[in-house]
Amino acid sequence: MASNLRKSLPVALSLGFLASGANAAVLLSNELDGHWWNPDEAGRGALVDYVPTSEIGKGVMFLSLYTFNAGEPEWLIVQSGVIDETTNTIQAQFGRSSGGSFGNDHNPAAVLTEVLGNATITVNGCSSMSVALQPNAGSGMSPVTYALQPYTGNGGACETLVTQCPAGTTAQGSDCALPASITGTLSLRPGKRYRINGQVTVEDGGVLNIAPGTILVGGGTPVPDFLAVKAGGKIFAEGTRSQPITFTGPEAVPGSWAGVVLNGKSYCNESDQPLGCAFEAVPELTFGGTDVNDSSGVMRYVRILWAGEQIRTDEELNSLTLNGVGAGTTIEYVQVHGGLDDGFEWFGGTVNGRYLVASQVGDDAFDCDDGFQGKVQFGLVWQGSENGDQGSDSNGIECDNDSSSPNVLPRTIPTFSNLTLIGSPNGNEGARIRRGSGGHYSNVVITGFRDNCLNVPDEPTAALIGSDLTFNNSFIGSCDGGATENHGTALWNAGNGNRSGDPQLNGYMPRAGSPLLSGGASPDDPFFIPTTYVGAFDGANDWVKGWTYGLGAQ
């Protein structure tokens, strides 16, 4: 009988777990690569592949068993339905495929999979798994259980799953609610979902640790749900490529919850006093000072989804707000997706970032204000077409210094290198630099925006061209409103190595022969990894793949 069992598997498949101890509950992921076997039964084993679905926390388990039947080699395919990533006893079916051929005349349409029976996959821990096969009557097979362990050389991080709410949180159904105020150290591990009900604040001196694979969800309360880290507080959200940390809302819609706000003690140009600047959306959150190397912690392999809930009349929160955050903070491999307002917004500060993704964002993807002087390398803006809030103010980059005093110091002068900015018919401009903002831009590709690709609309900003404002070794593709506007033309023409034409992209990746694969030059600064290409990708390393959400171009 034919079925929808997976008809082919790659040569190298993977399964990863978060567990410690042979019999601990584990989190399914693809952390461990290679095959599983029993050293006492050499010659047979399994290739295993846990594939996450588009639904957060869900996936499908595949196994390809290599074994023998009546002395002849036999490959059996095992596939589950959609399961929760915390499921450790997995019901599945198994079968065999036939109808293909070894040579170049192979016809995939001729391949059929015969269901032979049911399987139970029991994940006992990071280093122990069993596969029990119960064949159908008439299959000619007998029931068998394979006891497996990872083959020597497999690697991966193993963490135990929590089964009860950790100290400092409270049970909310099957989830755990975070406290409103975190003053000591609170550590969150996967196994439970953690609810952010209203404003949850990491106080000065408080520490929030978040382990790989952990999911935090806006509580859906009548007030805005968001996480705020005050100046002096710290967050250590350190995921992995296969086990990213996810902040999301109760629904997969823009504005389902509010977002994440970090506050630090680095520059802001509204005050030169310690903590002299107030976050406009939440004035009790103050920031600023002179500690350019201040640390608010680490955010690595983190996804912030469906943020932007209205926090007061006509004002939504950004997905990730960085207020006066210092260079001692690590921001790497962070995605914001589906936010109702801005994606990343920097208000002052000197924090740096690498490998940033802003996708399906309703307002500006990268927004800098109030004296931001940090550095960013490798960033993708993918406006997409699924956020109905995109409109005439939705830009790839929008950088301001100050609307009323454009020359106030310290001036907004970010350094951006290796950016790929891809717009949509619903968005606005690729890069809008205004209100006295400087900035040093290199290796940037801009294409696909509804309005122009590059705009410098005012005189105070134009006066900075060639000194505090430069644009070099970059590439403009096609934007509906034209390549440049206002003083954007002068900025573009003043740069070195700027080009225009067809960037030859496949989604966000440059094709073979793309002009983006050469012509780049990195800033003379030790923070920046030397590159010779334009845009965020070299054509071979898709660093977005494997940890982000909702990017169909992967």
Residues 6+ apart with CB under 8 A from 493: none
Residue 201 corresponds to which tokens in the numbers above?
Answer: 């604040």
Q: Rounded CA gap, 185 and 222, in Å?
A: 28
Does position 22 have pLDDT exceeding 60, yes or no? no
How many angstroms separate the CA atoms of 156 and 160, rounded? 13
Give the whole-angstrom CA distance, residue 404 versus residue 411: 13
Counted residue by residue, the chain has a size of 554
Q: What pLDDT is attached to residue 136?
A: 96
Predicted confidence (pLDDT) at residue 68 exceeds the cutoff of 80:
yes
* Ranges assigned E (strand) in 85-219: 89-98, 112-125, 128-135, 144-150, 170-172, 175-177, 181-182, 185-188, 193-196, 199-202, 207-210, 215-218
In the predicted model, what is the mean pLDDT of the chain?
92
Closest to 59 in 3D by CA, of 75, 82, 40, 36: 82
**For residue 155, what are its two tokens?**
């690697």
Q: Is the model's pLDDT at 209 over the cut of 70? A: yes
Predicted model pTM: 0.90
* H or E element, residue 379: strand 375-382
Looking at residue 24, its pLDDT comes to: 58
- Its CATH class, for the domain covering 191-512, is mainly beta
CA pair distance 298, 17, nearest whole angstrom: 23
CB distance 273 to 288 below 8 Å: yes
* Integer CA distances (angstroms), 6 to 100, 196, 550, in order: 14, 38, 23
Give mean pLDDT, residues 210-221. Answer: 97
pLDDT of residue 30: 74
Q: What does the alpha-carbon distance between residue 415 and residue 438 come to, in Å, rounded to a whole number?
A: 9
pLDDT computed for residue 158 by the predictor: 54
Burial (CB count <10 Å: 0-12, 13-18, 19+), residue 184: exposed
- For residue 7, the model assigns a pLDDT of 32
Which residues fall within 8 angstroms of residue 195, CB to CB, at 6 or more apart?
A: 172, 175, 176, 177, 178, 216, 217, 218, 219
pLDDT attached to residue 314: 84
pLDDT the model gives residue 157? 55
For residue 227, pLDDT over 90 is answered with yes
What is the separation of C-alpha 442 from the centre of its chain, rounded to a whole number of angstroms? 23
Q: What is the pLDDT of residues 400-444, one digit of tens each?
A: 999 999 999 999 999 999 999 999 999 999 999 999 999 999 999
Phi, psi of 351 (to 5 degrees): -65, 145
Strand, coil or helix: 299: strand
What is the percentage of the chain residues whose pLDDT exceeds 70?
A: 93
| Residue ranges per structural domain of the chain | 14-150, 191-512
Residues 314-332, mean pLDDT to the nearest whole number: 97
* pLDDT of 9 strictly over 70: no
Which tens digits make up the pLDDT trace of 338-382? 999 999 999 999 999 999 999 999 999 999 999 999 999 999 999
Q: What is the average per-residue pLDDT within 257-285?
A: 97
- pLDDT band for 553, please (50, 70, 90 cuts): very low
When computed from its CA atoms, the radius of gyration of the chain, rounded to whole angstroms, is 26
Specify the pLDDT at position 34: 65
* 27-50 per-position pLDDT tens digit: 888 765 568 999 999 889 999 899
Higher per-residue confidence, 491 vs 5: 491
Q: Which amino acid, one-letter code, is at 269?
A: N
